[in-house]
Chain A
């Protein structure tokens, strides 16, 4: 059981799964699998806890994954408290996971439709990294018949911008791939920057692939607008209570294509950086286009007030509920 979890976590940590939404999908599948594979509810709950804790270590920034895990854990807890057997819980969770995925997909589509309104026909859009939401926005632009030129950075470490550039070009957009350093060189040709997000903090700061804040800074300097497209599932409730988002840094050259085999080099690869709200013109969500500073309002509206505890606490409580269920 744990092997499967380790595999997922390794892929997540190594950027083998590019988009944070895809990470959340993988986590949803993993939670369902925890219940499918376990002998009993107590074992399932412990596996879920191991998964959430593992995720907190490898990708602590992935708010959407924690929010997805939390939803499933809360569902499981309710079913277990109602005395449902393991098979029923597993079935119900599989259905809930499928519903969640549909919800995420449709939220992305709505946000993409709103975001597309901000992109004019004939304009040039710069983006970075690999984002399902940004790709959805381009698909929307295509269906609206807007001709847009894309500029995509390689997005090292990892370099997943190359995959993004290929996919946008395959959608039919004239796409230019550039090295991360060339952002300021091309900024004067850009009409808008559109990026995805790994997470959004309570103050409206955007955590996204490292390099995003440099692009936003260069855009700000050139008076180019920066839009972040992110569904409300990516809003971090923990940061409301002063929690800092821990940004993972990978030591060594493993994530630097072309330098993987270079020996004895001390290298530091931060995976994410923080773009301050003052460089962001708007965050495009499925609930509307908002100023980054209004993030807190959306958090209250979506998650209620005060918000539920974090995913790890929820998973711990699930283990307690399962243990109690076994002893009774």
Chain B
């Protein structure tokens, strides 16, 4: 059977960036897997498995580089693959999706509690883009009675910083919006930087909204501590096997009106969505399993995916010349 219209609709929401943020994308994808399982009208285990693989492929193609999305799909799919009967498989898909969503939401709560301890009374904190984990840390610090001030970067081209601004302001946290170019200008006033992550690689590098690495560099220069708040399902198992993370480049229309480019043939817009912050500039990664140094990312990955990675490693064959 084909992919249900409802799932197509959700896929479009992710693709068009109406659903943003790695955590939200992952939960939405898990939810779409659940919807797909519930809408399945057939009665054949193998057909169901290949149907779910098709759904996962469609959802995965919306944001090919979003690790959280692929880990969510993998989480549900792994449990479907293990099922012995069609009934069991459908139940497994639904409950896996539910438990993924629940764990994801709980993770943010745990991260906020752990992370808030790293924030001190009177701190000025800078954040970039719109990360639910990073904002949860700031909100938890605020509600525990610590007086904090926040600088939120506007985050061109899509102004996600405005969403962060509003969320913090609604929670009564004093916040000031700044252009992305002003990061070094304000860094002297900043005590800590807290950002989210899109992907964490095996060597502890963090892929996040473009500009993050520039902020980390400016923080490093000013000896300002730089924290990444992120759920462990954003850690990329593929990078353990040497896979490079592809940085998505988005369309020019996000930056300038397209007619500007048609009237200037030598002019192009380059619009990378993410950049890579090296582990050297990161003081710690705050996860739901604790605060870890960035270079310990591999430990988490081996804990979570050790078995699968070993299987995949075993399939790599090497020709040895005589």
Q: Which residues of A contact B (CB under 8 A)?
A: 151, 153-157, 162, 165-166, 169-170, 172-186, 209-211, 213-214, 217-218, 221, 247, 253, 256, 258-259, 262, 265-270, 273
Contact = CB atoms under 8 A, between A and B. Distances in A.
Contacts, number: 142
Q: Which of B179, B247, B264 has the most chain A CB atoms inside 10 A of its CB?
A: B179
A280 to B, nearest CB: 15
B267 A166 contact: yes
A177 B177 contact: no
B244 interface: no
Contacts of B209: 181
A259 B178 CA distance: 12
Contacts of A180: 156, 179-181, 211
A267 B177 CA distance: 4
Given A218-B217, A265-B165, A165 B181 contact: no
Given A169-B264, A177-B255, A273-B184, A210 B179 contact: yes
A269 B185 CA distance: 10
B271 A183 contact: no
Contact of B156 (A154, A166, A268): A154
Given A151-B270, A177-B256, 14 more contacts: A156-B154, A176-B268, A177-B268, A177-B269, A179-B210, A179-B211, A185-B210, A209-B181, A211-B180, A211-B181, A213-B184, A217-B221, A256-B179, A266-B177
B295 to A, nearest CB: 20
A181 B156 contact: yes
B266 interface: yes
Contacts of A267: 154, 176-178
17 contacts: A154-B255, A156-B154, A156-B156, A157-B179, A166-B264, A170-B264, A180-B181, A181-B209, A182-B270, A210-B179, A211-B179, A214-B214, A256-B154, A268-B177, A268-B178, A269-B179, A269-B182
CB-CB nearest 8 A-B residue pairs: A181-B211, A211-B181, A169-B266, A169-B267, A267-B177, A180-B181, A179-B156, A156-B179
A193 to B, nearest CB: 14
Interface of B: 153-157, 159, 162, 165, 175-186, 209-211, 213-214, 217-218, 221, 247, 255-256, 260, 264-272, 275
Contacts of A209: 181
A221 B278 CA distance: 12
B313 to A, nearest CB: 31
Contacts of B265: 169
A170 to B, nearest CB: 6
Contacts of B162: 259, 262, 265
Nearest to B266: A169
A166 B272 contact: no
Nearest to B178: A268
Chain A at the B interface: SS class: mixed
Given A177-B255, A218-B217, A265-B162, A155 B181 contact: yes
Given A169-B264, A172-B266, A182 B211 contact: yes
A151 to B, nearest CB: 8
B266 A177 contact: no
A214 B217 CA distance: 9
A162 B256 contact: yes
A162 B267 CA distance: 10
Contact of A273 (B176, B177, B185, B266): B185
Contacts of A182: 210-211, 270-272, 275
Nearest to A264: B169
Contacts of A211: 179-182
A179 B157 contact: yes
B264 A178 contact: no
Nearest to A276: B221
A142 to B, nearest CB: 12
B156 A259 contact: no
A184 B178 CA distance: 19
A199 to B, nearest CB: 16
Contacts of A253: 177
Nearest to B221: A217
A233 to B, nearest CB: 25
A151 B214 CA distance: 17
A273 B265 CA distance: 33
Contact of A268 (B157, B182, B218, B221): B182
B182 A210 contact: yes
B208 to A, nearest CB: 11
A171 to B, nearest CB: 8
A178 B214 contact: no
Contacts of A262: 162
A178 B256 CA distance: 10
Given A179-B255, A180-B156, A185-B210, A153 B268 contact: no
A217 B183 CA distance: 12
Contacts of B256: 162, 177
A184 B272 CA distance: 11
A78 to B, nearest CB: 41
B217 A153 contact: no
